Amino acid sequence: MGLLDRIAECSLFNPDRYVHFFVANQHVGYTEKKFASRLIDSSFSPTFLSENGKLHVNPRLKTPDERTKAVEKVLLKLREMGFVPGWRNEQYPVVRRFGGKPLLSVERAAVSLLGVRGSGVHLNGYVKRKKQTLMWVGKRSHLKPTGPGKFDQIVAGGMPIGISVKDNLIKECWEEASIPREIAKNAQSVGVVTYLTERPDGLRHDMEYVFDLKLPDNFVPMNVDGEVSDFFLWPLSKVKKSLAEGSDFKFNSGLVAIDFLVRHGYIKPEDPEFVGAALGTNAF
């Protein structure tokens, strides 16, 4: 076991299991074949079509709003049938490329089932003590639909439609760790991690916006929204050990933590895993 095993867990993709998914003649994702067949089932209005082995949203739906409403009806029906678990009532954009103009929006729980791009924000909260860097690690609630009980960044959350990255980060900082706005606004954007991987909930084709925030030495996080059960302040040696020895971190949170270790010089060029760790946190 090692750090590269965590990276490998975020690179599992067998294209033979999927069909290409198009909206307005733009390729937006990869949909698992069984779920695609449910979408085009004749019992639904013709919102989804199959053409040359590819899945399309009906081109007669011309605007993002028309597509959103029509797709929502299909997804609600599939939810009633038990095929869209973990419904959250949060709308996420469907785009051709990260940062692109939304072609429609869909329920968050359907993002991985449709195999479309998703994104989120992750914050590495750390403190400095006697030249030692310590990282705040959150433990996800066992009630979370994804990664229950796994270790995570002090703050992490998805990117719904209609909010900026920085505003979403500040919102999540308060909800997940009671980090006030006057501190959260000092978070530094340090890049992204990306991955394309198969998970139990579907295909995750994501980009996470990564931030670092040096916290006051006396700051103690407290969760507000019930999504984090506990917080721990770990030396980076313990973070690295946990990542190397198993899958106690949520899969994408592990990538973010590895990225932090590389950028802060805790994994050095002499380390045999350095190159794989430095390159492996961005799959595309």
- Can you say how many angstroms the Cα of residue 125 is from the centroid of all Cα atoms in its chain? 18
- Residue at a domain's end among 91, 117, 143: 117
Q: How many C-beta neighbours within 10 Å does residue 85 have? A: 10
CATH number of the domain enclosing 31 = 3.30.750.160
Average pLDDT over residues 113-138: 96
Check whether 131 has a pLDDT greater than 90. Answer: no
Per DSSP, the three-state class of 16 is helix
Q: How many structural domains are present in the chain?
A: 2
Q: Look at residue 45 and tell me whether its pLDDT is greater than 80.
A: no
Check pLDDT > 90 for residue 24.
yes
Where among 117, 149, 182 does a domain terminate? 117
- Tens of pLDDT along 119-130? 999 999 999 998
**What average pLDDT score do residues 90-111 get?**
95
Rg (Cα) of the chain, in Å, rounded? Answer: 20
| Whole-number average pLDDT of the chain | 94
Whether 54 and 101 share a structural domain: yes
DSSP secondary structure, 185-234, as one string: TTPEEEEEEEEEEEETTEEEEEEEEEEEEEPPTT-----SSS-EEEEEEE
Give the pair of three-digit tokens for residue 122.
Answer: 């992750």
* Residue 41 pLDDT: 85
What value does the mean pLDDT take over residues 4-11?
93
Looking at 117, 137, 160, the residue that finishes a domain is 117
